[in-house]
Each structure stands twice: as C-alpha cells, then as structure tokens.
Amino acid sequence: MNDKDLSSDSWARERAGGWAAALAGAEGPRGRGPAAPGRDLPCRDRVVALLDELVDLAAPLCGSGAALAPAADRLAAAAEELAACIEPVRAHYTCPVLGVGRGGDAAAFARAAAAGFLDSLPAIRAALREDLRAGYEGDPAARSEQEVAMSYPGFYATAVHRVAHRLCELGVQLLPRMMSELAHSRTGIDIHPGATIGPGFFIDHGTGVVIGETCTIGRRVKLYQGVTLGALSFAKDEDGNLVKGIKRHPDVEDNVVVYAGATILGGKTRIGHDSVIGGNVWLVHSVPPHSKVLNAQPSPRVRTPGVPDTDEFVGGDGI
C-alpha cells in the first residue's frame, strides 16, 4: 500500500469500488442456500423482535398482563409479522438437506404456516405451564412460578424451543434455527429446534446444556447444568461428506433426572423411564427403566497441617 494513496480526504471513497469488487468476487457460488442475489432474508434484529413477541404471547407469566389474554389485533399483528418473515425465507432460501425452499407460492405458504402457529399457541402455552410448574416444584430455591418465568434461563430456553420447534413442524426453514441460537447466546443453553421435548421439562441452572437435533425427551424430565444429549459419531458418505438427516441423538423417556455434567451419546441410546443418571457419567448405551447410573465414588486425599503424609503420591507441595 502506498501512503500517498491515502493522503486525499476522499481516500476511502476512492478505494471503495475496489473493495466492493473484491468482496463480490469472493462471494462464490450460491448453491448452498443463501438468498438469491438482490433479495434479502429477514435481518437478525427483526427475528429477535419477532421471537420476543412470540415468546411473550406463548409463555405464561413472562410478559405483561395483556399477554395473558392478548387482544385480537395484537395476535393479528403477530401473525402478519411472522408471515412476513417466513415468506422471503420460503422464496429465496434453499435447504439442500431437506430439499425444500425456493419455489411455489411463498406468500400462501407463509400465511398458512403463520396461521398454523397461532392455532398452536394454546397447546404451546399448556406445555409451558407444565414446564413452569416443574421448575417451581423442582427447585427449592424457587420462591414462585412468577420468579421461574421471569428469571430462569432454563425456562426461557424451553419457551423459545417450543416456539421454534412448532415452526419446524410447520416446515419453516432457517427462522427456527436463528431463534434457538438467539436463546443459546442469551442463556448458554443449546437446544436444536428439531429436538422433541415433552411437557413438564425443567433445566436447572442450565449453563452448558446441549440437546441435539434428533433427541426425543419424554414428560417430566429434569436436566442439570452441563448435560449433553449428543451424537456418538458422524456417518459419512462415499465422498467423505457428513450424512445429514439421520438419527444421531439419544432418547430419554418419562420421569428421568440427569445430573450435572453427564454426557449421553448416540442415536441408539435410550434412557428408560424413571431412571437417574448421576453427575459426570459418560453413557453410550441404553439403560432399562428405573435404573440408577453412577460413577464409582472418588477417593479424595486430604492433607492436614502437622500430620505426616502416608501416601507417597502426595509428596512435595502438592498441586
């Protein structure tokens, strides 16, 4: 770079054409799903605002009193905004894995999906009421259901998931994943919108929880922080590409508790109902109902001042 090229007061505008051409050349082919040239998908800020409104409408005790019995005009506005965000995704975004996206009557699809979602709000709210009750009854530190609804990251992540998952069921692409990742960034809880989760679900503390796309979770399941319900391995096709759209994550039946730091992996792994999975357990096979899975009790070594060490492993200054 020649410093004399930057001496003009209009140096940035003089170079902007070159920057624009370089970026256009670096964009590459559009075959893997971006919007068509010159057409915009809904921006992140717009999806954030939409998600906040849908969660406020769906989640009991989370928003204003008006959200508990919203007026018809508010519901109509939410449906119209949801359809307005779905339509450009349907028109200009392609999902190579599922083979759906561009084409057809995008406006008609968007309106049908938005109407279907609003039709589902009572069922979503009923499930969230059970989630709320599970959070209050399952945490001795919870002082009220209102406290759980307004402050617990696990309940918020679950509310977002129920919104995003229903949109997945309605065939909406991209938006559900954007919503789940917004919840991930806000809470540290990563729930793929494809996961199926029964009512009465509670994540206590929450930080570091991961629930994979093909996971199914039954009724009244409780997870603690750091739990992973993930994939054991990733199958590849003959060209070495990851095979997508197959069962990769475990199934957890009703009334299961999974304690902090446990890792349960694999699409063939099934946790039977009324089981307890202890903290920091690593599990890659199924267990029958009413199981208790625990690691062997560790044997911590205690050093006391003035008492000679009898264990040669604990020599010197320690760690």
Of 249, 262, 261, 318, the residue nearest 291 (C-alpha): 262
Q: Who has greater pLDDT, 1 or 186?
A: 186
Q: Please enumerate in sequence order all residues whose Cβ is within 8 A of that of 237, keeping only pairs 6 or more positions apart, or say none.
A: 243
Residue-wise pLDDT for 36-84, tens only, equals: 443 578 999 999 999 999 999 999 776 555 555 678 999 999 999 999 9
> Does 103 score more than 70 pLDDT?
no
pTM of the model: 0.85
User: Cα separation of 178 and 169, whole Å?
Assistant: 15
Alpha-helix runs per DSSP H in the chain: 11-26, 44-58, 65-68, 72-92, 106-138, 145-151, 153-169, 175-187
What is the average pLDDT value for the chain, to the nearest integer? 88
C-beta separation of 182 from 48 below 8 A: yes
Task: Work out the percent of the chain whose per-residue pLDDT is above 70.
Answer: 86
Mean pLDDT value of segment 222-231: 98
User: Cα separation of 164 and 291, whole Å?
Assistant: 32
Residue-wise pLDDT for 284-309, tens only, equals: 999 999 999 999 988 888 888 988 87
Of 81, 105, 111, 70, the residue nearest 91 (C-alpha): 105
Of 223, 267, 221, the residue nearest 247 (C-alpha): 267
User: Cα separation of 229 and 248, whole Å?
Assistant: 10
Domains and CATH numbers, the chain: 40-188 (1.10.3130.10), 208-295 (2.160.10.10)
